[in-house]
Amino acid sequence: MTRKRIEWYVRHLVFCLAAISPLLALPSYSAEPPLVLERTIALHDVRGRIDHMAIDLPRKRLLVAELGNDSVDVIDLAAGVVAHRITGLREPQGVGYAESADVILIANAKDGSVRLFNAADFSPAGSVALGDDADNVRIDPRNGLAVVGYGGGGLAIIDPRSHAKIADVRLPAHPEAFQIDPQTGRAYVNIPGALQIAVVDLDARRIVANWPMRDASANFPMALDPSQSLLASVFRSPPSLLLLDAGTGAVRQRLPACGDADDVFFDTSRARIYVSCGAGELGVFRRDSSWQELETVRTASGARTSLFVPQLDRLYVAERAGLVGSEAAIRVYRAAP
């Protein structure tokens, strides 16, 4: 090989190394998506709409309100199977687990009742009549009381130990999703029929603030991050994620969201928000200097109900049975990395 030829090869080698050296200096990123489908748990013989879910964390059991099937499935998450089915319900919408009383509460839309079951053996433990459209169930982390949205506008406070309603808070219209601040005892309530978010003092049992929603409607799902004093409310018309200051109601940020949203959750350990939508996708948002959409994860049409359990690092998404014979199921997503 001639000297000129060697010099030509050396020059080109130096050029190539100079071109790729900035790429070698870049940090490496995992190709793993933010939500990884880990498994699918079949819900046999379940037809119709699936509504809210809850977790019995000590037993690692997922509770699934199957509104269209008049049943609640109890899923053993370790085994990945349905361990028990509570039947004979009346369009169960909301479900909750009160750990201090070891009681499951099921809110029924059709007859307005909240039925209680002992979580150890699923035996009936009583019933509370609310009159109409019993819906979302939340457990007040401060005292173990259950709060249930219902009717034309009300929050019922139920003592799971005595199996009795102890108070009511009147609202201007039917409440959809609501969240309880464990530090202040305030409940933030989506009220789409009144185009507002209401702030309720659960101890005083009254509304202390109303925040009108003028630029969007159909605010169904809601999440709260008390550490950031941040409230997330998702609207269906137009599809949008609204982030508000939990102290003042001031809008911090507004972002486009997926269609037909039904649930939203903060993943505080990763500075993320997950939104599940009936349009067949999960919206994943991340906070850097501001919030922005990180990725969209495809699911199935109509799979809008979900539950994020931070203690298990899992997002559970309910998929209803299809018209062509596919079974209902729970998709289990692992949050990553």
CATH number at residue 56: 2.130.10.10
Establish if 243 belongs to a structural domain. no
Question: How many domains does one find in the chain?
Answer: 1
CA-to-CA dists, residue 118 to 63, 125, 163, angstroms: 13, 6, 11
Asked if residue 258 belongs to a domain, the reply is: no
Q: Which domain holds residue 92?
A: 50-212
Q: What integer pLDDT is reported at residue 2 of this predicted model? A: 58
- At residue 85 the predicted structure's pLDDT band, cuts being 50, 70 and 90, is very high
Residue 61 included in any domain: yes
Mean pLDDT, rounded, of the chain: 93
Higher-scoring residue by pLDDT: 241, 21: 241
- Residue 288 lies inside a defined structural domain of this protein: no
- Give the model's confidence band at 322: pLDDT under 50 very low, under 70 low, under 90 confident, else very high: confident
Sign for the pseudo-dihedral over CA of 109, 110, 111, 114: negative
Q: Is residue 275 part of a domain?
A: no
Give the span between the Cα atoms of 166 and 236, in whole angstroms: 34
Answer whether residue 325 shows pLDDT above 50: yes
Structure tokens at 123: 């035996």
Q: Is residue 304 part of a domain?
A: no
Q: CA-to-CA distance for 176 and 29, rounded, in angstroms?
A: 39
103 part of a folded domain: yes
Instruction: Give a yes or no: residue 23 inside a domain.
Output: no
The answer to whether 53 touches 75, Cβ cutoff 8 Å, is no
* Cβ neighbourhood burial of 123 (10 Å; 0-12, 13-18, 19+): exposed
